[in-house]
Structure formats: structure tokens, C-alpha cells
């Protein structure tokens, strides 16, 4: 798929002094199917223990209901609908729960033109009743919401349960799922250990080793680039996944390691200070780091302080930087708001263009068709995301080992 021309196209790699990376679905590449199943299984267990959700909620006639889980669906909470969006917010396909709606039914909900009005695609906080499950962590939330809506439709005991109540309980469950434990083993919530414990014990099941990526990063360092990572994940989790994915010496490849970064505020809030990483403290936050030259491993912080450090370290002022990540809003859009910053989106679904599906991915075509288009009566309509990515990113690749990325960084 062609994403050029972009309003801010990439220039030559030689023009950039610094390259920043997200970790999850970027430096760390996951087996999407195995990761999705783990998130799904942990979520069901938490929903059962916290909210007494019966196992029947998650029953499905489909041989593999995980194939329903696709990223970037719009969620209409009030109606209980999951929506595949087209260009200019055209509605292409809708499921109410796990029942697919006809075009006539869609028009009853959304009007003759089948346009979704009132959606703000930049609402990463999901504050309204219309929002998007953007990432390959949030896609399972959409599946769970669909199954809960379906169960409500068919079970008298849930008839009084509103879609808003379901959304609230799923959000609380997802918060508990990602709450981290400190490195000494004290848990904030016992349920939060389910996900991390499995990743720690069986990382090889979920993370791909990427020896060639280590060589690409060394190649970039040898070209004099300032390399940093900025992840919203906590350092112990980052370390486990990158130890396996890049090798035990991965930290030597980076000039600065930023965890618990708090993106997108990292890119917008100049008051957010960097803190030294301290394993014994809550959220690993030690004293304020007043000199980044003395603090390679830090938490939180902001991009303006980082820019000054890059200029001090490289002795080059005003030259371009680039940030690479998978979250189109938190990684790409907000980083691109800063002058002199370009951004690359990593979008695993692009593999559909080459070989039909993601490596280790989900066969979402069973429910949703192509990620990039919808064909009806011989007419093919482009989905919302190719144009949205083009408008908000300098370029887009499926993953860092793609040939186009290697070409960009001059790696032979």
C-alpha cells in the first residue's frame, strides 16, 4: 500500500541526529495470536473473579472467536455496536455484539448515508460513548465487549445491565490486567500477576527473537545516531522482552532508556520531570534526574528536556529527530506535533498486503474482511486508516525488519 505523499515525508536518514523507539510492537515484536489469547484468557479470569461474569459470556459458536479481535474498530457503546470505518467516516461493516448487521439495519442506526458522526479519532482516553480500540493490546477489549453485548441480548439475568455498565467493568478489568508489580514481588492486585507471570516464564512463546534488528541498531549507532527508547511499560517488563528479543546486551545500544514514559503527555507536557530509575520505589521513581548525562535509565520525563540533552550530546542544534512506534495517536500523532520531529508508524496489518495475514497473527478476514478495504457490488472502498496514517505520519512499515525500513536506514 502506498502511503506517500505525506504532509511530512521522510528525508534522508543522514538528516536525523536522533532516533527514538517505542518498545511493545516495535522493538519487541510479538506473536499476535499467542499474545491475544493470553490477554483474552487473563481478562476472562479477572472478569469472573471481580464481577462474577459467568463462563457462558465467552461461549462462541465460532471455531476461533479470537479471529473477531481486530485493531482499530470504532465502538458505539450506547448501541453495543462495533464498526469497521471507511474513508470520511463511512460505515463499512457493523456487528451488534457478535451478530453482523445488514445494510438496512445499519441505516436504521446511522442514517441513509451510513456515516458515523461524533467520533473523535484522536480521543485516546476513550472518554465518550464513541471511541476507537486502536492498538494490538486494545483489540481484545473489543472482542470482550462484543461477547458481553451478545450475552446481554440472550440472557434475562443481564437484561437490566446497560452497555455503559459493561464498558465500565471492562475498563476496570483492563486496568487491573496491566497494573504492574514491583520487582521485589509485592503485588498491587493478585490478578495483575496473571499476564506478567506468563510472559516472564514463557517469553519465547510470545516474543520473536530479532538478531538482525540488533545489527540494524548497531549500524545506526555506527552512523553516529543518538538512539533512545521511550516506553509506557515498566522497566522490568521491557527488560524481559528485550533480553529475549534483542539479546542480553541490548542496553548498550541506547544512549537513553525511558520507561513509564507516560506518552502522549511525554510529547506535550514540558513540566513532566525525568526521575532516576529505582527498583525499590513505587512506579520505580527515584529522585529527580537533574542531569541526563548521569542517568541512562530513567522514568517519565518530557520531549523538550530530551531535545536539549540530544543537542548537548551530539553538539548539533536544530536538526531533525524521528520517533517510531505502533500507536498512531500516542506515538505518532503527538510526537509529530513537535517541530523538527518526524514519525514512522509500525502497522503489522500491512503484512496482509504481502502474504495475506500477520506472522503469528489472526485470521480476522472471517469476520471483518480486508483491513484496508471493503468490497460491495463490485465497488472497493478504502478503510479509514490508510489515509489517517498518511496524514499523521511520515511513513509506515509493518515492522522494523521490513525491507523498506532497512532501505531507509541504509542497512545492507
- Is residue 151 situated within a structural domain? yes
CA 333, 334, 337, 338: dihedral to nearest 10 degrees? -130
Q: Is 350 helix (H, G, I), strand (E, B) or coil?
A: helix
Q: From 203, 210, 297, select the one nearest 255 (Cα to Cα).
A: 297
The conformation of residue 6, written as its DSSP 8-state character, comes to P
Task: Spell out, as residue ranges, where the chain has pLDDT lower than 50.
Answer: 1-4, 181-191
Residues 122 and 252 in one domain: no
Q: Which of 179, 199, 219 is the last residue of a domain?
A: 199
Residues 232 and 185 in one domain: no
Residues 52 and 185 in one domain: yes
Residues 296 and 160 in one domain: no
Number of structural domains found in the chain: 2
- Is residue 188 situated within a structural domain? yes
Residue 400 structural domain: 13-30+207-367+393-405
Q: How far, in Å, CA of 335 to CA of 228, rounded?
A: 14
- Is residue 2 situated within a structural domain? no
Residues 211 and 181 in one domain: no
Residues 135 and 193 in one domain: yes
Q: How far, in Å, CA of 36 to CA of 30, rounded?
A: 10
Q: What is the CATH number of the domain that holds 243?
A: 3.40.50.1000
pTM, rounded to two decimals = 0.93
Q: From 306, 238, 239, 318, select the one nearest 269 (Cα to Cα).
A: 306
Residues 221 and 360 in one domain: yes
pLDDT tens-digit readout, 354-364: 665 555 678 89
The DSSP code sequence of 118-169 is: S--TT-TT--SSEEEE-STTTHHHHHHHHHHHHHHHH-GGGTT--HHHHHHH
- Is residue 372 situated within a structural domain? no
- Is residue 231 situated within a structural domain? yes
Amino acid at each position: 500500500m502506498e502511503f506517500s505523499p505525506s504532509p511530512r515525508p521522510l528525508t534522508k536518514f543522514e538528516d536525523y541526529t536522533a532516533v527514538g523507539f517505542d518498545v511493545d510492537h516495535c522493538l519487541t515484536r510479538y506473536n499476535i495470536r499467542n499474545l491475544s489469547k493470553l490477554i483474552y484468557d487473563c481478562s476472562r479470569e479477572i472478569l469472573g473473579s471481580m464481577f462474577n461474569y459467568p463462563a457462558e459470556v465467552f461461549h462462541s459458536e465460532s471455531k476461533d472467536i479470537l479471529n473477531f479481535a481486530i485493531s482499530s474498530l470504532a465502538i458505539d457503546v450506547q448501541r453495543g455496536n462495533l464498526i469497521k470505518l471507511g474513508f470520511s467516516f463511512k460505515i463499512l461493516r457493523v456487528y451488534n455484539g457478535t451478530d453482523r448487521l445488514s445494510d438496512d439495519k445499519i441505516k436504521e442506526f446511522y442514517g441513509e448515508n451510513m456515516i458515523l458522526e461524533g467520533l473523535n479519532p484522536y480521543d485516546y482516553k476513550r472518554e465518550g460513548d464513541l471511541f476507537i480500540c486502536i492498538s494490538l493490546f486494545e483489540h481484545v477489549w473489543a472482542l470482550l465487549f462484543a461477547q458481553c453485548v451478545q450475552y446481554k441480548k440472550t440472557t434475562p439475568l443481564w437484561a437490566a445491565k446497560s452497555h455503559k455498565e459493561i464498558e465500565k467493568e471492562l475498563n476496570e478489568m483492563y486496568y487491573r490486567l496491566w497494573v504492574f508489580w514491583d520487582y521485589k514481588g509485592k503485588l498491587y492486585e493478585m490478578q495483575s500477576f496473571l499476564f506478567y507471570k506468563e510472559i516472564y516464564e514463557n517469553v519465547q512463546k510470545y516474543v520473536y527473537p530479532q538478531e538482525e534488528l540488533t545489527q540494524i541498531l548497531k549500524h545506526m549507532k555506527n552512523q553516529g545516531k543518538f538512539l533512545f527508547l521511550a516506553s509506557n511499560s515498566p522497566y522490568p517488563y521491557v527488560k524481559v522482552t528485550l533480553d529475549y528479543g534483542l539479546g542480553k546486551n541490548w542496553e548498550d545500544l541506547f544512549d537513553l532508556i525511558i520507561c513509564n514514559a507516560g506518552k502522549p503527555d511525554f510529547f506535550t507536557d514540558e513540566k513532566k520531570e525525568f526521575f532516576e530509575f529505582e527498583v525499590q520505589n513505587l512506579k520505580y521513581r527515584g529522585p529527580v534526574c537533574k542531569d541526563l548525562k548521569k542517568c541512562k535509565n530513567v522514568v517519565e520525563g518530557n520531549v523538550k528536556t530530551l531535545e536539549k540533552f540530544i543537542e548537548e550530546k551530539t553538539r548539533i542544534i536544530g536538526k531533525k529527530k524521528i520517533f517510531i512506534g505502533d500507536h498512531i495517536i500516542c506515538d505518532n500523532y503527538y510526537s509529530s506535533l513537535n517541530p523538527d520531529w518526524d514519525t514512522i508508524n509500525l502497522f503489522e496489518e500491512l503484512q496482509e498486503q504481502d502474504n495475506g495475514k500477520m506472522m503469528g497473527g489472526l485470521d480476522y478476514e472471517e469476520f471483518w474482511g480486508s483491513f484496508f478495504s471493503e468490497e460491495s457490488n463490485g465497488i472497493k472502498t478504502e478503510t479509514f486508516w490508510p489515509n489517517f496514517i498518511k496524514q499523521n505520519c511520515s511513513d509506515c512499515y509493518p515492522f522494523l525488519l521490513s525491507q523498506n525500513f532497512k532501505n531507509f536506514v541504509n542497512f545492507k
